[in-house]
A and B are shown apart, each in its own frame.
Chain A
């Protein structure tokens, strides 16, 4: 895990309030986790023991469920999620280089989030618009036919800070 320093002070009373809605209802674990994630953007690790106690599970079990689902996160996410496609079509059109450039611009590795919580970088296997390869998705927006210039254009505000 690590990177705890990026985790801001978490409102535990809010977590307690959400958790208490589902007291002692083991089946509710996943909806409960989703609700917390909706509220905080991720599931603060501090909430795991609270959830476990309320649902009469072990903290390790709650962690097991969170780590199983890719939709659940235990670290804060950036306001925008950048997904670089690593599908076959994007790969042959230079997707690897695009990923490398995005990493340079954002100053983070895959799966990481910038310290200002602006961007989270991920890769995806395919987004289904191979005709536009190489692709990246920023937030909900697809950017096709990527090249170094367009990458720079997209993240030009970041350069100076990096």
Chain B
């Protein structure tokens, strides 16, 4: 492309076609003030502060919307420009209150900064105050529209980045304000309190609701959000050892300056009064505070004793998909080299093991195949069994942007109505647990109607014959009977998906947490292979990941069958490499998975356990039984930030530091390795998990040979494929795209992908009449995981204090239950009590409950039923009955 040269402030600079004056100035190091411009938003030229002068014709141009043209002579700071700029800012200030002293935006206010740069003090113009303050009761943000300058950043962020559309301009002229529908308070509107607009607002019009005045931020650290698997970049602002504010990272290609309510307002848990401050040792049934010295010595002695008395495999370790890669690496090394067992697993087993195994066997690549930014370049998106609006908001934003801004077709398959249904071209509502039949039905239509990508299938895949054979019985009629979805709709979806030149599949726990999870994933991989959507930009399969580091924990080998980098523990050669490096002999037999560990504990085979950052009593099925099993251990050590339900039954509890208090990396669902950076010192005596593991190894006479975290990273870079040079943040994007073995340009990892025939097996509907309802569980936007962190984030807790049970109106009427009444939900293994919320998102016979409330442990309703291939428990749907609790 021919460069375009212009003269900018007397200097010749070159840019490319379509570049604006502002962009070129920014690139050339010339600062032009702006109020309505943001790199993540398309420019509108609303505020006019960025105006510059064209010397040739004297025109004053808004530089953010004026493209460069060859030969332009532009002055950005001529006396005329400065004078006009001053006038514009003065006009804004004339209707802006002089309340800077008490305004929370303080020195972060861009309007104030620009005014002071221009030397504007008190304004001599006649004041036209706008009296528009809005009373809001939400605990997150406050709108003081008397400070609004109508730059529309909030409106554009809401409509174009987050695609929620809660606000737009309202009325005209002097009375214009950004407003919700009917101008109601935000909590009564579509607003999801993602905080994106607050971070963009250049004045104090949008601000966080503060409990107390927090003062000026001293340090800002760019790190990674600790909640879901999206891996959004966040900035932690700290003052006096306290995190005072969280704002979205501006440069990340994952979140593009957005966040969700959890990221923006959920990190309060860092300073929760519930944080563990010292190690605890249980003495006669009560916890007593102890020194690190004493606690670690006790743990080391007990682990050594159990190992000596009962053998290494009587010990088990649970690592965490919430901890960093480095911590998981150290932990598995500790388990294998120090304790001498492969009985190590991580909490990701519950959520994503079906993806790892399913995609692994079909594509030889165990995760999301493409990048999130690709999703906006596709032609069609098929979302199945996922509610990304709650579970992975950044993905949902990308999908909605694709639909709204690029006209991408969205096909949705979900029994429950979600926010995405409003954006979907077509929405299929199969019966719960019939996905495999539906997916096979789609595949059969694609093959029967000749819509498959024959060249791709012939050249890049094998096992097509057997696959085609296996689909024989999945006729439209048969699938319609099973799923309850009309044959015509199935055909249309199959045709739309197959005819799109690029089509992506997005799935979540609605697939993976079912008892047929792995089959569902394989079925989806089959669809992508049939249509040649693997190894294609804009195609691919997106496996949503529940937790921030589910991918990383597995990559690091916190798995019973695999050493770091998925090298089998039974592979002598791989083992040798690690043995040499670690100077210890490693166990050669595959260990137990998380739920098998529980099973063997129950049988008395496992005597001691070390749980790091997991809360199985809440997150595993059949909570009561799991608590009993853990209590029966000889010795249980739990390492966590809080005294979780699991920690309560431990013998020793070790206080861990939060993500804000340590360095490291998280790997997000795309496989991108994101930096975690320390913003504050660990609270009280808590320590980062990696340091605790190192100290414990010391006590067990196997000091891990690392003097710093950097040494751990170096070892990972050396030993774990696809993590080579991952700490080099300069190369982060390139590494994420190149080295991590992405299937781009039809480059499959092992040359061929494999069709895996899957069969639909009806679930035994035992005692259907006793337990007439199908209960679905899932995440809600305002809480996360088992709620350990989100329920301790006071703003989330205040806004969304308690669990609920969603039921459709006709079922509620039949049972004579009204909104807000109390009910007891009973399954064959447990019961919970909660309040009813009548909802139009469900069909008759279906119920929905969120998972994140420890007072209402919905997992207590699930029996332990393991998926045969991954040994992951079924945690998505179960049969229940319901009883109304009369008000007392």
Contact = CB atoms under 8 A, between A and B. Distances in A.
B165 A61 contact: yes
Interface stretch (B55-63, B175-183, B228-236): B175-183
B182 A64 contact: no
Contacts of B814: none
A58 B182 contact: no
A6 interface: no
A60 B181 contact: yes
A58 B170 contact: no
Interface string A48-79: 10000100111111011001100000000000
B493 interface: no
A23 to B, nearest CB: 13
B11 interface: no
A61 B404 contact: no
**Main SS class of interface, B:** mixed
A56 B407 CA distance: 11
B167 A60 contact: yes
B242 interface: no
A59 B169 contact: no
B168 A61 contact: yes
A134 to B, nearest CB: 26
A48 B181 CA distance: 9
B172 A63 contact: no
A67 B172 contact: yes
B170 A61 contact: no
A115 interface: no
Nearest to A52: B165
Nearest to B404: A56
Interface in B137-185: 159, 164-172, 179-183
A17 interface: no
B172 A61 contact: no
B422 interface: yes
A5 to B, nearest CB: 16
A63 B488 CA distance: 37
A60 B179 contact: yes
A59 B165 contact: yes
B422 A60 contact: no
Nearest to A59: B181
A131 interface: no
Nearest to B407: A56
B404 A63 contact: no
B182 A61 contact: no
A72 to B, nearest CB: 11
B169 A68 contact: yes
B181 A63 contact: yes
A70 B701 CA distance: 81
Contact of B180 (A56, A60, A68): A60
Interface residues of B, number: 18
A94 interface: no
B408 to A, nearest CB: 13
A56 B422 CA distance: 9
Interface string B508-544: 0000000000000000000000000000000000000
B164, B169, B190 pick with most chain A CB within 10 angstroms: B169
Of the listed residues A60, A64, A68, the one surrounded by the most CB atoms of chain B closer than 10 A to its CB is A60
A58 B172 CA distance: 18
A145 to B, nearest CB: 32
B171 A68 contact: yes
Contacts of B170: 60, 63-64, 67
B181 A67 contact: no
Nearest to B167: A60
A60 B404 contact: no
Nearest to A1: B182
A73 B169 CA distance: 16
A58 B168 contact: yes
Contacts of B166: 58, 60
B159 A67 contact: no
B159 A61 contact: yes
A61 B152 CA distance: 13
Contacts of A53: 422
Contacts of A144: none
A58 B165 contact: yes
A60 B168 CA distance: 5
A87 interface: no
A67 B171 CA distance: 5
A61 B170 CA distance: 9
Interface string A9-33: 0000000000000000000000000
Contacts of B404: 56
A45 interface: yes
Contacts of A56: 404
Nearest to A2: B182
A104 B169 CA distance: 34
A16 B84 CA distance: 50
Nearest to B163: A58
A56 B424 CA distance: 11
Given A1-B182, A48-B181, A63 B168 contact: yes
A30 to B, nearest CB: 15
Contacts of A68: 169, 171-172
Nearest to B423: A56
Contacts of B422: 53
B183 A1 contact: yes
B652 to A, nearest CB: 54
B168 to A, nearest CB: 4
Contacts of B169: 64, 68
Nearest to A58: B165
Contacts of A61: 159, 165, 168
A67 B181 CA distance: 11
B815 to A, nearest CB: 30
Interface string B181-200: 11100000010000000000
B174 to A, nearest CB: 13
Nearest to A61: B168
Identify the interface centre among B165, B166, B180: most chain A CB within 10 Å of its CB. B165
Contacts of A64: 168-170
Interface string B417-440: 000001000000000000000000
B134 to A, nearest CB: 15
A63 B179 CA distance: 9
Interface in B189-237: 190
17 contacts: A1-B183, A48-B181, A56-B404, A58-B164, A58-B168, A60-B165, A60-B170, A60-B179, A60-B180, A60-B190, A61-B159, A61-B168, A64-B168, A64-B169, A67-B170, A67-B171, A68-B172
Among all A-B residue pairs, the 7 with the closest Cβ atoms: A58-B165, A64-B168, A60-B168, A59-B181, A64-B169, A67-B171, A68-B172
Interface of A: 1, 45, 48, 53, 56-61, 63-64, 67-68
Interface of B: 159, 164-172, 179-183, 190, 404, 422
Given A1-B182, A67-B171, A68-B171, 13 more contacts: A1-B183, A45-B182, A53-B422, A56-B404, A58-B165, A58-B190, A59-B181, A60-B170, A60-B181, A61-B168, A63-B181, A67-B172, A68-B169
